[in-house]
Amino acid sequence: MDSVIEAEGLTKKYPEVTAVNNIDFQVKKGEVFGFLGPNGAGKTTTQRILTGVITATSGKAFILGYDIRKEAFYAKSRIGVVPELANIYIDLSAWNNLMLIGQLYDVPKENRIKKSAELLRIFNLYERKDEKTKVFSKGMKQKLLLCMALIHSPQILFLDEPTAGLDVVSSRLIKEMIAKFNREGVTIFLTTHNIQEADELCNRIAVIDHGLIATIDSPENLKKEFQSVQTIEVAFNPPIKSEDDLKEIEYVNKVQKIGDKFKIYTNNPDELIRQLLNFSQKRNLKIFSLNTLGPDLEEVFVKITEEHKGWSYGKEKSFSKTV
Amino acid sequence: MEKKNLFLRQFKSTWAITKKDMSIYYLKPPVLIYGFIFPGFIFLAFFLGKNMPFSSLLPVVIVLALFFTSSSVGPIITPWETRMRTLERLVSCPISLEFILLGDILAGFLFGVGITLILSVFAMPKIG
Ligand SMILES: Nc1ncnc2c1ncn2[C@@H]1O[C@H](COP(=O)(O)OP(=O)(O)OP(=O)(O)O)[C@@H](O)[C@H]1O
Ligand SMILES: [Mg+2]
């Protein structure tokens, strides 16, 4: 078997929105598959369908060949899940959290103990295993969730924003571990809105927004799209009235006024900053604040879909022209 | 054969959930209030207030205690777990929702039986 995750026409409708809109994709054995999109894109909803937490309105999903709806037990036994929000039992110790989950995956007692100790050591939690997790920091909780997802040595690991809100050290450790487990043969489904993270870890990335998949491609190919939609936020003192002056500057692709700040899209942030300095000197303005924000995902999505206008998107293979 | 195995496996998981409920929820304030204090007061109200003989009081107290205690654990677990988002983690484990709920109900039932036993033991000598 080549594909370990298969989604066919997955759709999830809520009364107010269609969270996931008829998406198709396949994840191959052994790859790190990124699921990248802005807030509200439908990433978590997709992961919840694939892990059998909610059922799709229509469409099908197969995990290692098992229908997630009809053969949920077999599919769920073989996957590990880190959901979006930390939800360990805060009234139980780290150790007892692991024991509970181990029992639910039917890991024999001996293995359960051995594996738990091993995982807790990897994530630097072993010394604190007997404390109630109420006192754990966000990062520690997240690491424990990862341990819980791995206790039964799953073949596929689903991760929903595993590094969101963590400091650099913790997120680096988690990323290193994701790469390590992948080298050991675990297929990874990584949901994120962090382009850098997706770029570092993934073999292929699906870009999703408004419940639709815009494209599925390698990070290298996607980077080209990301390049041209890097953003810088700048504010001047005294504030300048209109964005028209900024549009004259070289390397500015598009300007958006947000309060007294300006959000500038560019494909060369470095040059643009130099130009902005020039601009402020010439006009005798002080730069009040200057932030580089990286590529704007919403724009990436717009750009990709615009490039394929008249093409049907939402389906992996279907960048074929609709007649 | 396969079906039976599946059932047994999930039943084992149900027991794991019951044990978890016992260690977490038996000590939560609402459970303590409804489980211990409420039946206690009802007992006192009947015993002291109405001056009923103990032997005819016992069945009433047992029924009341069972009712309040069993129903005090079960209902708090599901909303609590939904709010704490722990239910989401459980549902992604290989156990169906029915078996999770069964585990919760079992925890409530055992709690009720436990309280009833304690009350009965206290009451027994008095019937004598
Ligand atoms: N249970 C629900 N009931 C109603 N609407 C929902 C529900 N869950 C999600 N939605 C809606 O579906 C859409 C997609 O939500 P989803 O959580 O999948 O986004 P996401 O890509 O994970 O976003 P984020 O990056 O913020 O986590 C949103 O518009 C959201 O409001
Ligand atoms: Mg999400």
Residue B12 lies in a domain: no
* Domain co-membership, A264 together with A173: no
The single-letter DSSP state of residue A313 is -
The conformational region for residue A40 under phi > 0 = left, psi -120 to 50 = alpha, else beta, is left
Q: Which domain holds residue B49?
A: 28-127
Report the residue among A11, A17, A47 best suited for mutation to probe ligand 1: largest number of ligand atoms under 8 A from its CB: A17
Structural domain tally of chain B?
1
Residue at a domain's end among A219, A238, A264 = A219
Residue A318 lies in a domain: no
The predicted structure's pLDDT at residue A191: 96
Which residues, 6+ apart, have CB-to-CB distance to A162 below 8 Å? A82, A142, A146, A174, A178, A190, A192
Q: What is the percent of chain B where pLDDT is above 90?
A: 12
Angstrom CA distances, A156 to A77, A148, A237, stand at 10, 14, 52
B85 touches A: beta carbon within 8 Å = yes
Matching residue, tokens 């900024």? A246
- Identify the bridge partners of residue A187 per DSSP, sorted by sequence position: A156
Question: Contact A27/A4 with Cβ under 8 angstroms?
Answer: yes
The predicted structure's pLDDT at residue A321: 33
- Identify the bridge partners of residue A291 per DSSP, sorted by sequence position: A233
Q: Is A98 helix (H, G, I), strand (E, B) or coil?
A: helix
A104 touches B: beta carbon within 8 Å = yes
Nearest CA in chain B to A85: B85
Q: Is A67 helix (H, G, I), strand (E, B) or coil?
A: strand
* Domain co-membership, A46 together with A128: yes
Residue A315 lies in a domain: no
Report the residue among A11, A20, A43, A85 best suited for mutation to probe ligand 1: largest number of ligand atoms under 8 A from its CB: A43
User: Which residues from chain A sit within 8 angstroms of residue B104, using beta carbons?
Assistant: none
Q: pLDDT: is B51 or A137 the higher one?
A: A137
The predicted structure's pLDDT at residue A317: 37
Nearest CA in chain B to A52: B92
* Domain co-membership, A161 together with A92: yes
Nearest-angstrom CA–CA distance, A6 and A19: 19
* Domain co-membership, A193 together with A254: no
Residue A307 reports pLDDT greater than 80: no
What is the tens place of the pLDDT at every residue in B10-52? 888 999 999 998 888 877 777 777 767 776 777 677 767 666 6
- Nearest Cα to Cα of residue A202 among A224, A178, A227, A167: A178
Nearest-angstrom CA–CA distance, B14 and B12: 5
User: Which residues from chain A sit within 8 angstroms of residue B86, using beta carbons?
Assistant: 87-89
Task: Write the residue with the smallest CA distance to atom 18 of ligand 1.
Answer: A42
In chain A, how many H helices and how many E strands? 11, 14
User: Which residues from chain A sit within 8 angstroms of residue B7, using beta carbons?
Assistant: none
Q: What is the pTM of this model?
A: 0.81
The predicted structure's pLDDT at residue B52: 67
User: Which residues from chain A sit within 8 angstroms of residue B91, using beta carbons?
Assistant: 52-53
Quote the ipTM score.
0.79
Cβ-Cβ contacts under 8 Å between A and B: the total is 67
Mean pLDDT of chain B: 78
The predicted structure's pLDDT at residue B124: 64
What is the tens place of the pLDDT at every residue in A146-165? 999 999 999 999 999 999 88
B90 touches A: beta carbon within 8 Å = yes
* Domain co-membership, A131 together with A211: yes
* Domain co-membership, A130 together with A253: no
Q: What is the largest CA-CA distance in chain A?
A: 73
Specify the pairing of strand A187-192 against strand A156-160. Answer: parallel
The predicted structure's pLDDT at residue A66: 96
- Nearest Cα to Cα of residue A51 among A158, A190, A166: A158
What is the tens place of the pLDDT at every residue in A253-277? 888 888 888 989 888 888 999 999 9
Residue A322 lies in a domain: no
What is the tens place of the pLDDT at every residue in B91-115? 999 998 889 999 988 888 888 777 7
Nearest CA in chain A to B3: A73
Residue B108 lies in a domain: yes
Angstrom CA distances, A191 to A164, A300, B119, stand at 11, 17, 53
Residue A43 lies in a domain: yes
Task: Give the number of other CB atoms < 10 A from CB of residue B37.
Answer: 11
pLDDT category of residue A202 using cuts at 50, 70 and 90: very high
Residue B52 lies in a domain: yes
Mean pLDDT of chain A: 88
Residue B81 reports pLDDT greater than 70: yes
Give residue ranges with CB within 6 A of ligand 1.
A 14, 16-17, 19, 37, 39-45, 84, 193
Portion 126-155 of A in contact with B at CB < 8 A: 145, 148
Residue B122 lies in a domain: yes
Question: Contact A180/A119 with Cβ under 8 angstroms?
Answer: no
Residue A309 lies in a domain: no
B23 touches A: beta carbon within 8 Å = yes
* Domain co-membership, A197 together with A71: yes
pLDDT category of residue B83 using cuts at 50, 70 and 90: confident
Query: Across the interface, do A77 and B94 touch by the CB < 8 Å criterion?
Result: yes
Angstrom CA distances, A262 to A252, A265, A272, A286, B36, stand at 12, 10, 13, 14, 63
- CA B65 to chain A, closest CA, distance in angstroms equals 26
CA of A28 to the centre of ligand 1 (A): 26
Nearest CA in chain A to B83: A87
* Domain co-membership, A247 together with A195: no
What is the tens place of the pLDDT at every residue in A55-108? 999 999 999 999 999 999 999 999 999 999 768 999 999 999 999 999 999 999
The predicted structure's pLDDT at residue A319: 38
pLDDT category of residue B125 using cuts at 50, 70 and 90: low
CATH number of the structural domain spanning residue A126: 3.40.50.300
* Domain co-membership, A148 together with A255: no
* Domain co-membership, A172 together with A287: no
Residue B98 lies in a domain: yes
What is the tens place of the pLDDT at every residue in A111-121? 999 999 999 99
pLDDT category of residue A222 using cuts at 50, 70 and 90: confident
Residue A300 lies in a domain: no
Residue A312 reports pLDDT greater than 60: no
CB-nearest to A87 from B9, B89, B95 is: B89
Long-range CB pairs of A74-79 (<8 Å, 24+ gap) are A74/B94, A76/A51, A76/A52, A76/B92, A76/B93, A76/B94, A77/A105, A77/A106, A77/A152, A77/B94, A78/A154, A78/A155, A78/A156, A79/A51, A79/A154, A79/A155, A79/A156, A79/A157, A79/A158, A79/B92
Question: Contact A229/A294 with Cβ under 8 angstroms?
Answer: no
* Domain co-membership, A94 together with A197: yes
Q: Which domain holds residue A262?
A: 230-293
Residue A307 lies in a domain: no
What is the tens place of the pLDDT at every residue in A16-42? 999 999 999 999 999 999 999 888 899
Structural domain tally of chain A?
2
DSSP B33-82: IIIIIHHHHHHHIIIIIS---HHHHHHHHHHHHHHHHHHHHHHHHHHHHH
* Domain co-membership, A15 together with A113: yes
Q: pLDDT: is A179 or A296 the higher one?
A: A179
CATH number of the structural domain spanning residue A284: 3.30.70
- Nearest Cα to Cα of residue A199 among A228, A179, A177, A173: A179
pLDDT category of residue A315 using cuts at 50, 70 and 90: very low
Angstrom CA distances, A315 to A2, A72, A182, A321, stand at 19, 25, 26, 12
Q: Is B99 helix (H, G, I), strand (E, B) or coil?
A: helix
Q: Which two tokens stand for residue A193?
A: 């809105």
Mean pLDDT, rounded, for A294-310: 67
Residue A180 lies in a domain: yes
